[in-house]
Amino acid sequence: MAQKGVNTKKDRLLITLSGIIPDIDGLGILGGVFYDNKIIGLELWSTYHHVLSHNLPFCILISSLFAAISQAQLRVFALTTLCFHIHLFCDLVGSRGPDNYQWPIPYLWPFYNQPQLVWQGQWQLNTWPNMLITVFFLGFILYMIWKKGESPIGLLFDGVDKKMTIALRGRFGTP
Ligand SMILES: [Zn+2]
């Protein structure tokens, strides 16, 4: 039996989602929209962001769920766990608030409140390191589209990669 890779669009989409899914605990900010009360949204956000879904138990839950509905279950479990933790790492190093609040991550919540992960060298969210990283990865995505004709954008917006590939190869030539 041939070894299965992470070759299906669904599996790649699940892995991609695992890198952004921790931030669903920040959706409380929308509470202000539903209740027409900005204070409720801010309270939900400040109370639960970096708590409900920025922890190891949630990671195991999501990785298990995604693996269960995937083709390459073991690889999807491993890669969703990795992407989830890359998200936590990025939060730790570069998401300090404008008021210098560090948004500690209770890694073992809801079972334990400790440890609360923080890094003293954490930079603010809207500073140049994050801008540089964003520009780098946008450039990398454009390069992938030009070189391989596909990128994570194509997982969410079918056909966009093809159109961008045609445009980029028309401008910069065929690789
Ligand atoms: Zn986060």
Show the tokens assigned to 79. 């890669």
pLDDT band at 65 (very low <50, low <70, confident <90, very high): very high
Instruction: Give residue 68 CA to ligand 1 midpoint distance, Å.
Output: 24
The radius of gyration computed from the CA coordinates of the chain, to the nearest angstrom, equals 19
Instruction: Give residue 43 CA to ligand 1 midpoint distance, Å.
Output: 17
pLDDT band at 93 (very low <50, low <70, confident <90, very high): very high
The mean pLDDT value for 28-50 works out to 79
Phi (first) and psi of residue 126, to 5 degrees: -100, 45
> Domain ranges in the chain?
9-124, 127-175
Query: In terms of DSSP H, where are the helices of 19-55?
Result: 31-34, 38-48
Instruction: Give residue 32 CA to ligand 1 midpoint distance, Å.
Output: 20
Instruction: Give residue 100 CA to ligand 1 midpoint distance, Å.
Output: 16
Q: What is the pTM of this model?
A: 0.87
Lowest mean pLDDT: which of 44-53, 141-150, 153-162?
153-162
Res 42: pLDDT? 82
Q: Which SS3 state, helix, strand or coil, does residue 116 take? A: strand
Instruction: Give residue 65 CA to ligand 1 midpoint distance, Å.
Output: 20
Show the tokens assigned to 11. 């599996």
User: Which residue's entry shows tokens 């992938």?
Assistant: 144
Res 151: pLDDT? 84
pLDDT beyond 80 at 101:
yes
Res 115: pLDDT? 95
Contact 34, 100 (CB under 8 A): no
Q: Where are the beta strands (DSSP E) in 60-110?
A: 105-106
Show the tokens assigned to 60. 């195991």
Each residue of 107-123: pLDDT tens digit? 999 999 999 999 999 99
User: Which residue's entry shows tokens 């309270």?
Assistant: 43
Q: Which SS3 state, helix, strand or coil, does residue 105 take? A: strand
Show the tokens assigned to 47. 């109370």
Contact 66, 77 (CB under 8 A): yes
Element (H, E) at 117: strand 116-117
